Amino acid sequence: MGLKQAKVGVNDLVLGMFVSGLDRPWTQTPFPLQGFYLRDLEEINQLKRYCKHVYIDVQKGKGPANRPNALAPIPRKKSEAPERSPSNQPLDVKVSPLKVRHNVYSHYTPLKNEVEAARALNQRVAKAISEIDKGLATVDTQALSNTRKVAGEMVDSVLRNPDALSWLNRVRDADEHSYSHSVRSAIWAILFGRYIGLSKKDLDVLAFGVLLKDVGKVKLGAALLRKENRSEEEELEYEKFVLYGVEILRQSRQVEPRAIAVVHSHCERINGSGYPQHLKGDKIPVLGRIAGLVSFYDEISNPRNSSKALSPSRAVARLYELRNVAFQEDLTVEFIRAIGLYPTGTLVELSNGEVAVVVEQNFERRLKPKVMLVLDKDKQPLKKQVVLDLAKKDIRLQKQIDKGKKRLQDVDRIEISHDLEPSSYPVDIAKVRDDYLFSTQRKGILGFIKQSLIG
C-alpha cells in the first residue's frame, strides 16, 4: 500500500495536509478531535505553539514534499445544505461569539438510578410524537401540550444524567426514521445545551422546537421523503416541509414563537446556503443554529439508509470541515467537545484488537469511557460479556508504576484505537444496551462490575 503516515516538523506544515497524530496526547491541546485537515494558517500557528512535530496522513492530504494529493471528502447527499453553496470556503459573516458557561449543571445522577425513569420517559415521548403525527390536520392542542411536557421531562432527565436517554434512543427501527431522528436530535440538543450552560427555559424551548422541527414532513409524499437522490425540482419540493411545519404550528397557542423560530430556522446555514430564507450569520437565532447543527450531525450519523451511516469520528470530522462555512465555528467546536469522539453506543476497536461498545461516558477523561467487550481479537463473539472501565484500569496501572511494582515498558495499556462504522461487524447494539442497562440493574450494577474485568 505504500507510505501512509509521515512525521513532519511543525515548520514544514502546509495547508491541505491531514494531521493524524501529535507528539503529545490530544487531550493536552485545544484541538477538539483526533485528525483534521489544515485549512488556515492559524491552525498551523496553534500546532507550532503545542508541538515540535506531528504525523500526517499522506493518503488523505498533501504529502511532506508539498505534493498535492486529492483530499478524500466524505460523500455528501444531495439534500445536504453545504452542497448548495457555490463554495465551501470559510465566509466572512457576522456571528456573535457563543456564550459558554461550563459546569452550570454540576448535579449528576448515577446511570443505574436514571435508567428506569428514562425508559418510561422514552415511551411517553414516542406516544406524544405519535399523537402529534395523527392530530396535525386538526392541530390537536392536547398532543402539542403533551409534547411540550415530555420535552421538559427530557431536559430534566439529561440534566440528571446525559447517558440514560441517549442509550434508549441509540437504536431505532428502520420504519421510524423521522420520529427517531427528531428525538435523537432533541437529545443531542439538550446534551449540548447542558454542556454550554443554557438556561432551563432555553433548554425547554430548544427541546420542544427540535422535537417538532420535522412536523411539516407529514404533508410530503412518502416516496419523496425516502428518495436519496432527488432532482433539483424534487429538492425544492422537499424543502417546503419547513414552511409547512411553521404554518401548522402557528395555528396553535400551545407552541410559543421561540419554538416556532427553531423550526423555521433549523435548515438555515451561516453562509446563506440553507433554506427557506437563506439567512446568514446572526440573522439565524442561536437556538436555530444549535438545532441545525445537531440535526445535521444526527442525519449523517443515522441516515435513513443505515449502510451509509458515518462513524462518530468521521461525522465529527465532517462537522469540523464545515465550521465557519455552514455552521458557526465556536458552536461547532464546543459541540464536538460536548459529545466527545466516542458517544454512548459507539462501536470501537481497542488497541489489543478486541471490539467493544461504549456503554457509559467518563466526563473527566472523555477518551477513557466504559466499554462492553463484544468481539475477541479474532473478531469472534465473546461467550461472556465483560465491562471494561478504561479510566479506572489506566489509573490502576499508573499507581503500580508509581509504586515500582511495574515498569512502564512492561505495561500494556488498553486504549480505544479507533471507532468503527456501525455496519463494520454484526453486533447487536440493542442487545448490548439491554444487557448493560436493564439486566445489570436487576442484578445490581455494582455486583456485575465486580464480576467484570475493570482492571
pLDDT, one tens digit per residue, over 108-118 is 676 666 666 76
Residue type, 343: P
The residue behind cell 475493570 is 454
Per-residue pLDDT at 166 exceeds 60: no
Residues 6+ apart with CB under 8 A from 118: 157, 161, 164, 165, 167, 168
In a domain, 88, yes or no: no
Average of pLDDT values for 298-312?
Answer: 85
pLDDT at site 79: 40
Report the length, in residues, of the chain.
Answer: 455
Q: How many CA atoms lie within 13 A of 1 on its CB side?
A: 6
Per-residue pLDDT at 446 exceeds 50: no
pLDDT at site 27: 62
Q: What is the pLDDT of residues 386-408, one digit of tens each?
A: 899 988 887 877 777 777 777 76
Check whether the bond before 276 is cis (ω within 30° of 0).
yes
- Whether residues 432 and 374 share a domain: the answer is yes
- Whether residues 235 and 324 share a domain: the answer is yes
Residue 367: is it exposed, middle or buried by C-beta count within 10 angstroms (0-12/13-18/19+)?
middle
- Listed range (10-14, 72-76, 431-435) with the worst mean pLDDT: 72-76
Closest of 190, 181, 113 to residue 150, by C-alpha:
190
In a domain, 94, yes or no: no
First and final C-alpha spacing in the chain: 37
- Whether residues 297 and 445 share a domain: the answer is no
In a domain, 264, yes or no: yes
What's the number of domains the chain is made of? 3
In a domain, 97, yes or no: no
- Whether residues 208 and 185 share a domain: the answer is yes
Indicate which CATH number applies to the domain containing 250: 1.10.3210.10
Average of pLDDT values for 177-184?
Answer: 80
C-alpha pair distances (Å), 155 with each of 85, 104, 108, 206, 219? 34, 14, 13, 10, 29
Indicate the pLDDT class of residue 451, thresholds 50, 70 and 90. very low
Domain boundary among 311, 339, 367: 339
- Whether residues 352 and 283 share a domain: the answer is no
User: What are the backbone dihedrals phi and psi of residue 23, each rounded to the nearest 5 degrees, phi first?
Assistant: -90, 15
Closest of 101, 92, 105, 21 to residue 60, by C-alpha:
21
Per-residue pLDDT at 17 exceeds 80: yes
Helices 177-196/329-339 angle, 10° precision: 100
pLDDT at site 192: 93
Domain boundary among 41, 71, 101: 71
Measured between alpha carbons, how far is 450 from 387 in angstroms, rounded to an integer? 9
- Listed range (32-46, 420-434, 435-449) with the worst mean pLDDT: 435-449
More confidently predicted of 62 and 242: 242
> 454 near 372, Cβ under 8 Å?
no
pLDDT at site 172: 38
- Whether residues 290 and 186 share a domain: the answer is yes
In a domain, 434, yes or no: yes
More confidently predicted of 144 and 373: 373
Identify any residues that bridge with 357 across adjacent strands, giving them in sequence order: 347, 372
pLDDT at site 287: 96
Average of pLDDT values for 15-27?
Answer: 80
- H helices of 88-136, in order, are 111-135
pLDDT at site 74: 35
- Whether residues 131 and 247 share a domain: the answer is yes
What percent of the chain has pLDDT above 90? 24
DSSP 3-state percent helix, strand, coil across the chain (nearest 5): 50, 10, 40
In a domain, 420, yes or no: yes
Average of pLDDT values for 198-224?
Answer: 88
Measured between alpha carbons, how far is 339 from 361 in angstroms, rounded to an integer? 10
Measured between alpha carbons, how far is 344 from 437 in angstroms, rounded to an integer? 12
Measured between alpha carbons, how far is 399 from 126 in angstroms, rounded to an integer? 47
- Whether residues 311 and 434 share a domain: the answer is no
- Whether residues 205 and 352 share a domain: the answer is no
The residue behind cell 403533551 is 146
- Whether residues 196 and 300 share a domain: the answer is yes
pLDDT at site 119: 66
Domain boundary among 286, 313, 339: 339
What percent of the chain has pLDDT above 70? 74
Measured between alpha carbons, how far is 356 from 137 in angstroms, rounded to an integer? 45
Indicate the pLDDT class of residue 264, thresholds 50, 70 and 90. very high
Q: What is the pLDDT of residues 322-369, one digit of tens each?
A: 999 999 999 998 998 888 778 888 899 998 999 999 988 876 777 788
Domain that holds residue 395: 347-451
- Whether residues 42 and 120 share a domain: the answer is no
- Whether residues 317 and 361 share a domain: the answer is no
In a domain, 81, yes or no: no
Measured between alpha carbons, how far is 313 from 330 in angstroms, rounded to an integer? 18
In a domain, 433, yes or no: yes
pLDDT at site 65: 56
